[in-house]
């Protein structure tokens, strides 16, 4: 089976032409922390502030310094697999093995999800 080509789309202009890079070849790397809820699903913790002054003085006084993003079972499994060593193609194959036909079309769904994570600055791409 030939690997499909899924282009990385980005509004930001980078030095390299990102439209020629296959999303299935990149390695996603986590940028935010996560926790597990009572059902075994993942909750991403995105910080509300990035300014160092605010982080130092305001965040310690806040009750909830992070946005909480709840993931479903597919998203939780993808987040677990984004360990900085697997590329998106290997993650897609793991999803297909675990969930079978429930996840099809796996490459399109995973590509959309990975691009959403990157656009929201929850992961970054490591291009090998």
**pLDDT at 4 (0 to 100):** 72
Specify if 113 maps to a domain.
yes
Q: CA nearest 28: which of 73, 72, 94?
A: 94
pTM: 0.79
Q: Is residue 6 part of a domain?
A: no
Domain count, the chain: 1
In a domain, 1, yes or no: no
Residue 8 lies in a domain: no
Q: What is the per-residue pLDDT across 85-112, written as a single tens digit (0 to 9) for each?
A: 999 999 999 999 999 999 889 999 999 9
SS3 content of the chain, % helix, strand, coil (to 5): 40, 20, 35
Residue 5 inside a domain? The answer is no
Whether residue 47 is contained in a domain is answered as yes
Cis check for the bond before 35: say yes or no (omega within 30 of 0). no
Name the stretches of the chain with pLDDT < 70. 1-3, 5-19, 51-63
Quick check: 122 and 32 in contact, CB under 8 A?
Answer: yes
In a domain, 96, yes or no: yes
| Residue 58 lies in domain | 18-127
The answer as to whether 12 is a domain residue is: no
DSSP string, 22-58: BGGGEEEEE-SEEEE-TTS-EEEEEES---HHHHHHT
């Amino acid at each position: 089976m030939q690997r499909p080509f899924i282009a990385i789309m980005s509004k930001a202009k980078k030095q390299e032409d990102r439209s020629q890079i296959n999303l299935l070849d990149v390695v996603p790397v986590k940028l935010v922390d996560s926790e597990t809820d009572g059902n075994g699903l993942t909750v991403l913790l995105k910080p509300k502030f990035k300014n160092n002054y605010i982080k130092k003085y305001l965040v310690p006084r806040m009750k909830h310094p992070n946005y909480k993003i709840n993931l479903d079972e597919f998203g939780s499994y993808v987040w677990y697999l984004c360990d900085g060593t697997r590329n998106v193609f290997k993650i897609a194959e793991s999803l297909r093995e675990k969930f079978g036909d429930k996840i099809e079309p796996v490459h399109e769904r995973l590509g959309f999800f990975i691009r959403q994570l990157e656009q929201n600055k929850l992961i970054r791409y490591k291009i090998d």
